[in-house]
Structure 1
Amino acid sequence: MQKNTFLLLIIYAILSLEGFCQNLSLKVYGETKVETRVIDSLNYLNRHNDYASVLLEVDSIQNALFKMGYIANKRIGINKKNDSVYTAQFHLKKKYNTIYIYYNNLAVDPSVLKLISQDVFDDYFILPFTAVERSLVFINQKASEQGNPFSTLKLANIRTDKTNLKADLIIDSKEQKRTIDHIVIKGYKKFPKSYLKHYLKIKPQQTFNLNRIKQKTDLLNDLKFANQIKAPEVLFSKDSTTLYIYAEKTKSNSFDGFLGFGTNEDTNKLEFDGYLNLNLTNNLNFGESFSLLYKSDENDQKTFRTGVTLPYLFKSPIGVDLRLQIFKKDSTFTTVNQSAKMHYQINSKHKVFVGVTATTSNNLLSSNNFQNIADYDSNFYTLAYQFLKRQNTNLLFPIKSDLYLETGFGHREATNTKEKQSQYTIDAFTIFNLNDKNSFYFRVNGSNLMSDTYFENELFRFGGINSIRGFEENSLLASLFGVLNTEYRYQINHAIFIHSITDLAYFENQMTNDKEKLFGYGFGFGILTKAGLFKFNYANGKTENSPFKFSNSKIHLSLIADF
């Protein structure tokens, strides 16, 4: 009996507690049906756990009505209808749709106001009342960007007449405009200071603008030899502003080599070719780069090329590019090409060049049975432009787009002759990312030498892994050529990808009056290993009117290692 009584007491207590914790409901009315519809449009919360929550919701409704333009709205009261229902009533009164804000044009730049209002006058501007809050935030942000990070603003002396709502804009700047007084690099203490001034365009005495500074320091990730560890920080003291930039030095040296092999059509023997390409960047903490290339082709052709880039000489925005290239064709001729260019880095993506190129070619044959090979000297004045865009989140393809355009005008001197010439070159590629795994790669590469006469030893040589794939390295001669490389790429994961190969080319040889179309087809894959990026390419090349032959296939293996 006692047990039953005890159970009944527990059940009663639970039911009583449930009744005590029941939800309260809130219903809000206006003085008219129209006002009630306006209040209902706020979609206020009508279920609450306690009376304190009801009061907070009523206050929230009143603030929302104020932001809508009912600045004189009045809460008549909150009534308890029964144990679980509360009602509240408002009188909305007049709604103001616009506000006239008076300002001091010495404290606020009218050009800033024109970004938020279409009606800006010498001493006032007009805003929709619903846009007041975000407009004040915008004006304050612009004031901060102009070196006043601690400025505050408010609307004061709010008043009305019969038709309009008016207020005064008050800006309180307690301090003088802030400028960057000191810059401290954390993590990479030997970071080249010239890159701060000319590449990031951050320097002392610059007006302090934190948002703009963050945009500029993000460009550290576009450098090959450094990246940003974390966002910049600022230390404000009474008399100075110190900017802290966090960066680290990254692996920027690379070694690139490939081995290619295929069957010689004449001897039916397996032949090998390849090259070594070494690039050293920023080893002296100056931002400099040094390159060295040696290439040996299966046609008994050898290429040696070296170059150095020195950016921001003497702390100026001007840099220098120097290059030397030696090409030898078996025992037929040698060609030595020297170039010197000055470049100006417009910003992180754009660069322009101006320079001079000198070429000397020597005929090595003792008795010249080939009238199309001759000794000559040529000099060109060159102009060039480069655009480079990176995608640093992709380890396999860190560069999204690259465009290089060059034009040169000069002359060639041979035995008792001097002839004007001009050259045009384009080398560009871009990647269209469909999603995280699928992308298309397009590259256009071409050159044109314009001259009245031509020598064989001055023609362009192309073909191979860095040109139209499926052909022997540098086996094709042209006075004009253009190559289109396309790949469909599928990334299996962040370290492995496979791709198709579809290459098209067109070239002209004015010496032999040849005009030819070429095609290359194949596939390949790449694997990012601890040693570097290993690539395998299989391609077959054919001319427009020749049949497809497996014996013409070329296999290329390459390894790109960063250290």
Structure 2
Amino acid sequence: MQKTSFLLLIIYILFSPKLYSQNLNLRVLGNNKFETKAIDSLSYQKSHKNYASIKAEVDSIQNLLYKTGYIENDLKDIIKKNDSFFTAKFHLKKKYNSIYIYYNNSVVETSIIKLVSDDVFDDYFILPFSTLENSLNFINSKTSETGNPFSKLKLSNIQIDKGNLKADLIIDSQKQKRAINRIIIKGYDKFPKSYLKHYLKIKQNQTFNLNKIKQKTNLLGNLKFANQIKPPEVLFSKDSTTLYIYTEKAKSNSFDGFLGFGTNEDTNKLEFDGYLNLNLTNNLNFGESFSLLYKSDENDQKTFRTDLTLPYLFRSPIGLDLGLQIFKKDSSFTTINQSAKLHYQINSKHKVYGGITSTTSNNLLSTNNLQGITDYDSNFFSVSYQFLKLQANNLLFPIKSRVLLETNFGNRKTTNSNEKQSYYSINAFKIFNLNNKNSFYLRMNGSNLNSNSYFQNELFRFGGINSIRGFEENSLFASLFGVLNTEYRYQLNNTIYIHTITDLAYFENKIANKKEKLFGYGFGFGILTKAGLFKFNYANGKTENQPFKFSNSKIHLSLIAGF
């Protein structure tokens, strides 16, 4: 057996094709040691399998020499020294470090030339020879963006004049620039046309620029009610340009609700609270949105709120926002807020608002008012700004960042007084993505009411799952408050995540002359099911001087269903 194995090994060694294969070596030399050093800096391949590979490598070296400024280089010969060694010899001659390019500023704009050259004059510009190819490609791409998609660029009349390399820049383009003559939407035929003009900023008779069109249509991913199926396509005819945009209608309605329960500190009984939140978007193919919220919590507080947004009225960039909110605090008071605002969509991320807000509050107490509750009416002028950035292809966290800043100026009237007031609010959050699985969520929410006097029924109400967790819903009254919510999130997969809860808050109540710091700690998880996104939060809240108690813990359950 050993003899047979040994014999097979000898046969393999003697007859192996590798034994007869032979690598060919290439050495490239210049006309002197300085030229040879310049060639060696190109880091060419020296080992080859056959002569054809050597010839291709020599041609590649010559092209590299042209691009680095040795435009007069001359290949003398390829010499076979022996069976395995070849020598190629070049005469590089003079190296040109720059080139003078003459152009017509009526054909190519000087502003484009200045993007690639620091030395630009009325009829010529200077380029480093090493950047020539990339610079010409850049100029050609910018020229095509100005309505000449079929433009061609070349250098002509290349010559050496007084030791300088010169050339003429020739651009072959159509005399009449291309414009978008027709826009056809495929897939979602009833897509609201106003969004093309004011949101995507695409309209007829616009100068054709395919790169910008692709960037704009990608913004379809920021709309809740539409998705882009595939990139846009263009049909060119002799005298017209037709743009095809491929989109589909997306599910944009949602139903949100949660159930919370905890122990009442006074009665030691289990109490429940919850809310329902319905959002309807683009059901009329107008881009409109309608929301309805009803909330009832363990403090015998009830909230009803409805909002309506009508974008791009009469195909203009102006939209209308209407809002109504009714709040009732047990048998103490009711407050009705009404608002009407106009908004202007600057672009896909930025929006500004302006309008009026009116409030009417009534005291329901029949006994003497010892709680600072008073009938009043107030009217405010409101100005606000919104920034919104989405992250596509993330079903769990579709919004990456949001900022809403609002300022209001007006007055409050009672039967005995008329007082000027103002209040400011901020609601902002951002997701910091560390990698595909780990992220950090940061949210800031706060408001401040400026007034000479305060009523209990006009103070801000906060606390609960949507502000500082671990506290009862709307159980905290403040003239000034700020809440910082933080979460570390870990995605187990595309449908499940877990997170920590660390909430901090500070508030002031000038009626009670109270200033206090609050803390909330806990954990939670979310699961994306066929029914929607199910969330579970466990949080414990405490004040600055209060010891930690498990009895203060709150469990919140919610389900956001899309349809």
Give 1:8's aligned residue.
none
Give 2:221's aligned residue.
221
Give 1:525's aligned residue.
525
Give 1:275's aligned residue.
275
Q: Which deviates further from its counterpart, 38-47 or 484-493?
A: 38-47
Give 1:429's aligned residue.
429
1:175 positional shift: 4.7
1:85–1:137 distance in 2 versus 1, CA, 3 Å: same
Alignment map for 1:245-324 (pairs within 5 Å):
245-324=245-324
Rounded to whole Å, the distance in 1 between the matches of 2:551 and 2:393 is: 40
Structure 1 runs not aligned, ≥5 long: 1-10
Rounded to whole Å, the distance in 1 between the matches of 2:321 and 2:96 is: 66
Rounded to whole Å, the distance in 1 between the matches of 2:432 and 2:255 is: 27
Rounded to whole Å, the distance in 2 between the matches of 1:174 and 1:496 is: 55
Q: Which deviates further from its counterpart, 227-236 or 131-140?
A: 227-236
Give 1:64's aligned residue.
64
Tell me the amino acid that sits aligned with residue 174 of structure 2. Answer: K
Q: Which deviates further from its counterpart, 485-494 or 133-142?
A: 485-494
Tell me the amino acid that sits aligned with residue 248 of structure 1. Answer: E
Rounded to whole Å, the distance in 2 between the matches of 1:452 and 1:28 is: 89
Rounded to whole Å, the distance in 2 between the matches of 1:63 and 1:469 is: 68
Percentage of identical aligned residues: 77
1:51 positional shift: 2.7
Tell me the amino acid that sits aligned with residue 483 of structure 1. Answer: V
Rounded to whole Å, the distance in 2 between the matches of 1:481 and 1:26 is: 77
Alignment map for 1:309-388 (pairs within 5 Å):
309-370=309-370, 372-388=372-388
1:350 positional shift: 0.7
Provide Cα deviations, 1:451-509, integer angstroms capped at 9, x if missing partner.
11111111111111111111111111111111111111111111111111111111111
Give 1:52's aligned residue.
52
1:264–1:15 distance in 2 versus 1, CA, 3 Å: closer
1:25 positional shift: 2.8
Q: Which deviates further from its counterpart, 390-399 or 354-363?
A: 390-399
Give 1:203's aligned residue.
203
- How many residues are treated as equivalent by the alignment? 553
Give 2:466's aligned residue.
466
Provide Cα deviations, 1:328-358, integer angstroms capped at 9, x if missing partner.
1112211111000100111111110001001
Rounded to whole Å, the distance in 1 between the matches of 2:369 and 2:94 is: 102
Give 1:499's aligned residue.
499
Query: Helix, strand or coil: the match of 2:492?
Result: strand
Rounded to whole Å, the distance in 1 between the matches of 2:487 and 2:447 is: 22
Tell me the amino acid that sits aligned with residue 411 of structure 2. Answer: H
Rounded to whole Å, the distance in 1 between the matches of 2:388 and 2:312 is: 18
Give 2:243's aligned residue.
243
Q: Which deviates further from its counterpart, 45-54 or 278-287?
A: 45-54
Give 1:7's aligned residue.
none
Tell me the amino acid that sits aligned with residue 26 of structure 1. Answer: L
Tell me the amino acid that sits aligned with residue 273 of structure 2. Answer: D
Give 1:121's aligned residue.
121
Rounded to whole Å, the distance in 2 between the matches of 1:126 and 1:367 is: 89
Give 1:26's aligned residue.
26
Alignment map for 1:373-522 (pairs within 5 Å):
373-522=373-522
Query: Helix, strand or coil: the match of 1:142?
Result: helix
Is this contact kept in 1: 2:310–2:321, CA < 8 A? yes
Is this contact kept in 1: 2:371–2:456, CA < 8 A? no
Q: Which deviates further from its counterpart, 548-557 or 74-83?
A: 74-83
Give 1:102's aligned residue.
102
Rounded to whole Å, the distance in 2 between the matches of 1:479 and 1:190 is: 47
Q: Which deviates further from its counterpart, 75-84 or 223-232?
A: 75-84
Tell me the amino acid that sits aligned with residue 515 of structure 2. Answer: K
Rounded to whole Å, the distance in 1 between the matches of 2:273 and 2:245 is: 47
1:81–1:19 distance in 2 versus 1, CA, 3 Å: farther
Tell me the amino acid that sits aligned with residue 47 of structure 2. Answer: R
Rounded to whole Å, the distance in 2 between the matches of 1:17 and 1:508 is: 88
Query: Helix, strand or coil: the match of 1:135?
Result: helix
Give 1:91's aligned residue.
91
1:15–1:35 distance in 2 versus 1, CA, 3 Å: farther
1:54–1:369 distance in 2 versus 1, CA, 3 Å: closer
Q: Which deviates further from its counterpart, 512-521 or 38-47?
A: 38-47
Query: Helix, strand or coil: the match of 1:108?
Result: coil
Rounded to whole Å, the distance in 1 between the matches of 2:111 and 2:423 is: 48
Provide Cα deviations, 1:371-423, integer angstroms capped at 9, x if missing partner.
61111110000000011111123221111111101010000111121111101
Tell me the amino acid that sits aligned with residue 270 of structure 1. Answer: L
Provide Cα deviations, 1:175-214, integer angstroms capped at 9, x if missing partner.
5211111111111111111000000000011111111111
Give 1:167's aligned residue.
167
Give 1:149's aligned residue.
149
Rounded to whole Å, the distance in 2 between the matches of 1:308 and 1:186 is: 29
Give 2:5's aligned residue.
none
Tell me the amino acid that sits aligned with residue 31 of structure 1. Answer: N
Structure 2 runs not aligned, ≥5 long: 1-10
1:20 positional shift: 7.5
Provide Cα deviations, 1:253-273, integer angstroms capped at 9, x if missing partner.
011100111111111111111
1:123 positional shift: 0.7
1:162 positional shift: 3.5
2:562 matches 1:544 = no
Rounded to whole Å, the distance in 1 between the matches of 2:295 and 2:145 is: 53
Query: Helix, strand or coil: the match of 1:441?
Result: strand
Tell me the amino acid that sits aligned with residue 78 of structure 2. Answer: I
Query: Helix, strand or coil: the match of 1:493?
Result: coil
Query: Helix, strand or coil: the match of 1:448?
Result: strand
2:550 matches 1:558 = no
Tell me the amino acid that sits aligned with residue 74 of structure 2. Answer: K
Rounded to whole Å, the distance in 2 between the matches of 1:493 and 1:238 is: 51
Query: Helix, strand or coil: the match of 1:422?
Result: strand
Rounded to whole Å, the distance in 1 between the matches of 2:175 and 2:49 is: 47
Rounded to whole Å, the distance in 2 between the matches of 1:213 and 1:464 is: 44
Provide Cα deviations, 1:493-537, integer angstroms capped at 9, x if missing partner.
111111111111111111111111111111111111111111111
1:27 positional shift: 2.1
Rounded to whole Å, the distance in 2 between the matches of 1:264 and 1:336 is: 29
Query: Helix, strand or coil: the match of 1:386?
Result: strand
Provide Cα deviations, 1:157-187, integer angstroms capped at 9, x if missing partner.
1111332111111111135211111111111
TM-score, length-scaled by structure 1: 0.95
Rounded to whole Å, the distance in 2 between the matches of 1:452 and 1:43 is: 79
Give 2:134's aligned residue.
134
Rounded to whole Å, the distance in 1 between the matches of 2:434 and 2:249 is: 32
Rounded to whole Å, the distance in 1 between the matches of 2:96 and 2:15 is: 51
Q: Which deviates further from its counterpart, 546-555 or 48-57?
A: 48-57
Provide Cα deviations, 1:29-74, integer angstroms capped at 9, x if missing partner.
1111111121122222233333333222222211111111111111
